[in-house]
């Protein structure tokens, strides 16, 4: 698929620490893929790594096995 002007990474919400896969835009904007904000309503995210290096913990499918 086309990768355009942005990279992919992993970031966590500055408010509730939920972790998302994110798009990283050329101007430094970090935005969760497919959404505008965190579930908690915050829209500031701390970049924590590259998508290739990280294990995504999807908050909607917690691993309790």
Q: How far is the CB of 58 from Zn ion (least distance, A)?
A: 14
Told to check if 59 binds Zn ion by CB under 5 A, we report no
Q: Which of 33, 40, 47, 56 binds Zn ion (CB under 5 A)?
A: 40
User: Are 31 and 25 a contacting pair, CB within 8 Å?
Assistant: yes
State the nearest-atom distance from the C-beta of 16 to Zn ion, in Å. 3
Distance, CA of 16 to CA of 41 (rounded, Å): 10
CA distance 27 to 8: 14
Among residues 11, 13, 19, 30, the one that binds Zn ion under rule CB under 5 A: 13
């Amino acid at each position: 698929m086309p990768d355009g002007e942005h990279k992919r990474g992993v970031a966590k919400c500055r408010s509730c620490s939920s972790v998302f896969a994110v798009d990283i835009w050329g101007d430094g904007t970090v935005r969760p893929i497919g959404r505008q904000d965190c579930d908690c309503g915050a829209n500031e995210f701390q970049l924590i790594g590259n998508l290739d290096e990280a294990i995504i913990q999807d908050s909607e499918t917690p691993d309790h096995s």
